[in-house]
Amino acid sequence: MLGGMKRPPLVGIRHVALFVPGLEACERFWVDVMGYKVEWKPDADNVYLSCGSDNLAMHRKTDSAGSTSDRLDHIGLAVLSPDLVDAWAEHLQGQGVVLHQGPKTHRDGARSLYFRDPGGTLVQIIHHAPLVP
């Protein structure tokens, strides 16, 4: 209870917005390598992508629009089984993506890997039982 009020339910993080350098390279990566679809491109400086129930907005980074340090730590993309983390590692490496950290099982039983997209965003592919149905 917050101040005597019942907390409304959350569905989870379904939208992430990033300032990215090299917007076109980032768009190609997320579409061609990660399988996202372009949902909307309102102009040359913005693109909105979707995959499943997720929405990723990318905005062209300019000198006045955020710095690499104030973007975020990382974003995590959930998969349905630990084996899929390894399948993603193989897929990404087959696409020439260098893994920041290869597949690893964590103390809590989660399994994940990390890589950077062309704009420098750290991305985690993760299987963590509480995240999946």
**15-131 architecture in CATH?**
Roll (3.10)
pLDDT 10s digits, 12-59: 788 898 988 899 999 999 999 999 999 999 999 999 999 988 889 999
pLDDT 10s digits, 98-132: 999 999 999 889 999 999 999 999 999 999 888 77
Q: In angstroms, rounded to a whole number, what is the distance separating the alpha carbons of residues 27 and 10?
A: 28
Q: Chain-centre distance of CA 105, in angstroms?
A: 19
Nearest CA among 46, 73, 56, 58 for reference residue 15: 56
| Domain boundaries along the sequence of the chain | 15-131
Residue 22's identity, in one-letter code, is G
Q: Identify the band that residue 1 occupies on the pLDDT scale cut at 50, 70 and 90.
A: very low
| Residue labelled with tokens 């990382």 | 74
Nearest CA among 29, 23, 25, 19 for reference residue 44: 23
pLDDT 10s digits, 61-111: 876 554 555 567 789 999 999 999 999 999 999 999 999 999 999 988 999
The model's pTM: 0.75
